[in-house]
Chain A
Amino acid sequence: MTAIQGPDERNLIPRWRAFGDAVRSGELDSARSKRREVSEDVGQRIAGFEEAKNAFIRSPGIHSSSDLLTQAVLGRHHLDGTTRTAAQHVLEVDAPAALKSLATKALADDSGSGQDENDLPSEFNLDATAHRIHHLRSILRREPLNAVRWTDLALAQVKLGSLVAAERSIRAAVQLQPNNRFVLRSAVRLYLLLDQPDMAHRVITKAPANLDDPWLRATALTTARISGVAGVSVRSSRRVLESGTHSPWHLSELASQVATLELDGGNVRRARQMMRTALVDPTENSLAQAEWAASHGLSAPATDASHRRVSFEANAISHKSAGRFAEGLEACLLWLADQPFDPSPAIFASYLASVGLEEYGIAERAASQGLIANPNDELLRNNLVFALANQGKTKEAREQIDRIIQPASGSRESITLMATEGLVRFKEGDAEGARSLYAAAVDRLVTLGQTDRAALANIFWAREEIRQGTRHASAIATNALALSRRASRHEVQLWSQRLVNDLERISSADPARDSHLR
């Protein structure tokens, strides 16, 4: 049986993206609303531009063009005919690449064409990541004090599952820039992945001034909640939210995490108010948190601003809840491409691919990708086994299932695994062993009141019995259909219909066999 994580808890764990992607997302913008004006003799700047134009008119060439374009671009002067001529001159002659870029920028700035900020994340690629590590290492040999690249190196290493090396790299970055938002939020993400929430909390709260930054304060609240330590006050965070010194965008994650904490404390009214603040100009992570909170009874109306950003996670959850599995999987794969080291999207994607769409190849790839950075995640490996077994890759499924460290008896994971083991046993020809495992799993799920999961496990079991044409098939199918009538999830209804179709197909193909099944 394949599974997703329980939706009991969700925190505003920072996303971890490569520097360029993080910048484009806007999460590395300055949180201050007022800028310090730099005083200058403005006449000097204007005179410089005019002088550069005269010089170009007198003696047009590469260097006079460069000076003029530098003055135009950096001084934000409107491009007149002379400057445009200089830019075109540079583009037409054999000029250095940087100068051509400057000319292009001058013309683009003037026409108002900007950069595309909405690139979709590209699919994870092992070779490309390995190449990136090589490239980053060569940069860091030249620039050992570049904390940004140490952080990017750590991310690339995590993607390849080199967690020890990644921890070394992030430590170097934190040492160089112990107050930087990009570095610290990345470090927190890594330490949480390494299951070291205390370390994550220490890193972010080491300098008290870090809490002045709403993004870092939000992260500190998250690490405090996960590690169970006190130290970051919700009350002072509320004051930051109400101070009016930061724009809604910069407060979104803080408000979202405070809402989550208010929800913990049972203060639904205040939680709703905070979630509303979070959604004025939300980050995609806040949108995902709101989607999660909505499933916990905390609905806060999303403002129009929320539509400006896309949250792959929020979309995946909402599509799945509505039974739109193809769209859900598409969103989930983008979420996975965005956070390839995170087990959650890999688990979600493998589940949706298998259960929603019977796309076992996609499920296999998603689970395998998640396992690179999370080799001990039993749920991920379980989903991989399920995908392999359903593709007839029984030997590989057995190899994978043998690698799973047995979770605590009676846990959700152990029951899921029991059912999956049942599936593999069926494929291996051990129907008797498979049956007892499936029966035990279904019983326990029913006892725990997890009707949806029980129904799913029962349907999978019934399908295997039908495939093998056993005398138990009819009874088990009947039981599965009865259970599924009490279930609510779309995927259970989908599978129950598939089971009915299976039964009908067999019935029409071989009435004798059908009567046997009955």
Chain B
Amino acid sequence: MITTNPAEDLENEVLPNGWTVTERIVPRPGDTGGNFSVNYWAVHSSGRRGFCKVLNYWWLLTSGAIGSDPLHALAEASRIYEFERDLARDCRSLSRVITTIEDGTLNRAGYLISMVHYIIFEVAEGDIRRVMDYSSDLDSAAKLRIVHNLASGLRQLHGIEVAHQDIKPSNTLVFPPHLGAERVTKVGDLGRATVLGRPADHDNFDVAGDRTYAPIDALYGSIPSEFAARRYACDLYQLGSMIAFVFTSVPINAYMTLELHPRHHWDNWHGTYQDVYPYVLDAYGRVLDRVSQEVPEGIREEITKLISCLCHPDVSQRGHAVTLRRSGNKYALDRIVTEIDLLSRRVRLFEKV
């Protein structure tokens, strides 16, 4: 096929460091990223598979997606690519975050735009939805390990001053058991992340990530001005929501929609968050009650308590009770991670017995 766009013409291309681009992944409607990037499978000479994301300069220039000025569009595209690349590099040492294996630039002679930027990511078995639906060995201990991995991933991100802001089932990726080690869960897709001191386009949105999973206060338009309360607290909320999803198969905002009267639902409320807060808090109480009924008895209290503190509708009350009382980062996840770890060990021991 003859093409003017090198990003669409990389099948069988041999990249530096032993990688070969293999098959192009045809995007389905709704696959995130759209035409902004062209995606391929890649394989390393060692046999390892990778997910290769190539920045689609040609589309950016011709679609008008980032303005009609080609020079500006190019500069903007480069800035977005560099943001993602640098963030991916920053995360390379994080064990519970999807990391890049490789990034680089190719020069393809004979094209109008010869430059090709690419990033190769590690490949997961699938996301948590598939694993939860199709794995027969997911007891409470295994679920707790998934949740523990996810919390650890977020703690690692927060440790390098990155807030993810888009934790949801499709971004919770699972790697198969390997060499006797158990299955590992990692945080994926940093496309909506915010790095402290490094502005990104999506930072200006009230809701940076997928609105469906956004913290409830943000859905009512209550947006804290302070970085930690706005960004880290969002991750805490979404972590709590994922815990609910793992143990009850329903995320918190879905529960809230069921429990809030439609007149008080964020889609219909015209007032301030402060005005609706007592009603949200009341609905939240019922949500926790419902959640606890779905969680296995042996860990019911602990799981409900975790969700309760992570998804608290008052952002100033969100987080571990002890951490909230101490000075420093109110949204630090250390105690949450430790609690989940201890709980998972206790359950494992119990299940073995």
Contact = CB atoms under 8 A, between A and B. Distances in A.
Nearest to B32: A47
Contacts of B99: none
A95 B251 CA distance: 14
B263 A26 contact: yes
A27 to B, nearest CB: 10
Contact of A28 (B209, B221, B263): B263
Interface stretch (B17-25, B125-133, B330-338, B341-349): B125-133
Contacts of B205: 39-41
A60 B133 CA distance: 8
Given A19-B282, A63-B132, A146-B281, A48 B168 contact: yes
A149 B208 CA distance: 34
A38 B258 contact: no
Contacts of A177: 278
Given A35-B269, A47-B34, A54-B30, A73 B278 contact: no
Given A45-B210, A51-B170, A67 B258 contact: no
Interface string A47-69: 11111111100111111101101
Nearest to A145: B281
A53 B30 contact: yes
A96 B294 contact: yes
B285 A55 contact: no
A247 to B, nearest CB: 10
Interface in A24-39: 24, 26, 28-39
Contacts of B254: 66, 69-70, 73-74, 98, 102
A43 B293 CA distance: 36
A183 interface: yes
A105 B257 contact: yes
A38 B207 contact: yes
B253 to A, nearest CB: 6
A48 B258 contact: no
A36 B221 contact: yes
A41 B129 contact: no
B32 A51 contact: yes
Contact of B133 (A64, A115, A146, A181): A64
B258 A50 contact: no
B270 A34 contact: yes
Interface in B154-183: 168-170
B315 to A, nearest CB: 15
B262 interface: yes
A182 interface: yes
B28 A30 contact: no
B248 A98 contact: yes
A102 to B, nearest CB: 5
Interface in A124-181: 139, 142-143, 145-149, 176-177, 179-181
Contact of B130 (A20, A32, A59, A74): A59
Interface stretch (B211-219, B232-240, B320-328): B211-219
A71 B168 CA distance: 11
A183 to B, nearest CB: 7
Contacts of B213: 70
B258 A182 contact: no
B255 interface: yes
| Contact residues of A: prevailing secondary structure | helix
Contacts of A139: 285
A278 B258 CA distance: 34
A48 B212 contact: yes
A76 interface: yes
A24 B261 CA distance: 8
A183 B278 contact: yes
A44 B30 contact: no
Contacts of B275: 30, 180-181
Contacts of B245: 63, 66
Given A23-B263, A61-B132, A142-B285, A98 B278 contact: no
A70 B253 contact: yes
B258 A52 contact: no
A475 interface: no
A99 interface: yes
A75 interface: yes
B278 A148 contact: yes
B264 interface: yes
Given A30-B271, A98-B254, A51 B264 contact: no
B250 A102 contact: yes
A231 to B, nearest CB: 23
A497 interface: no
Contacts, number: 199
A149 B269 CA distance: 21
* Max chain B Cβ within 10 angstroms of own Cβ: one of A30, A45, A54, A61: A30
A149 B133 CA distance: 38
* Max chain B Cβ within 10 angstroms of own Cβ: one of A26, A44, A75: A44
A20 B264 CA distance: 11
A61 B133 contact: yes
A59 B34 contact: no
A143 B287 CA distance: 12
A349 B289 CA distance: 40
A75 B128 CA distance: 21
Contacts of A179: 274
Contacts of B31: 47, 50-51, 54
B136 interface: no
A59 B202 contact: no
B231 to A, nearest CB: 15
A131 to B, nearest CB: 17
A438 to B, nearest CB: 55
A75 B133 contact: no
B230 interface: no
B253 A59 contact: no
Contacts of A64: 129-130, 133
Contact of B212 (A63, A74, A143): A74
B230 to A, nearest CB: 13
A229 interface: no
Given A73-B254, A95-B249, A55 B127 contact: yes
A31 B271 CA distance: 7
Contacts of A39: 204-207
A500 interface: no
B248 A96 contact: yes
A105 B263 contact: no
B260 to A, nearest CB: 10
B313 to A, nearest CB: 11
A44 B209 contact: yes
Given A63-B249, A102-B258, A147-B278, A28 B264 contact: yes
Interface of B: 28-32, 34, 126-130, 132-134, 168-170, 192, 202, 204-214, 218-221, 245, 248-251, 253-255, 257-258, 261-264, 266-267, 269-271, 274-276, 278-279, 281-282, 285, 288-291, 293-294
Given A55-B127, A67-B169, A74-B212, 7 more contacts: A24-B261, A38-B211, A44-B211, A54-B29, A54-B30, A63-B245, A146-B281
20 contacts: A20-B261, A26-B263, A29-B263, A30-B269, A30-B275, A33-B270, A35-B270, A38-B211, A46-B30, A48-B170, A52-B170, A66-B129, A66-B254, A70-B251, A70-B254, A74-B257, A114-B262, A142-B289, A145-B281, A177-B278
Interface of A: 19-20, 23-24, 26, 28-41, 43-55, 58-64, 66-67, 69-71, 73-76, 95-99, 101-102, 105, 114-115, 139, 142-143, 145-149, 176-177, 179-183
5 A-B pairs closest in CB distance: A50-B30, A61-B133, A30-B271, A36-B221, A148-B282
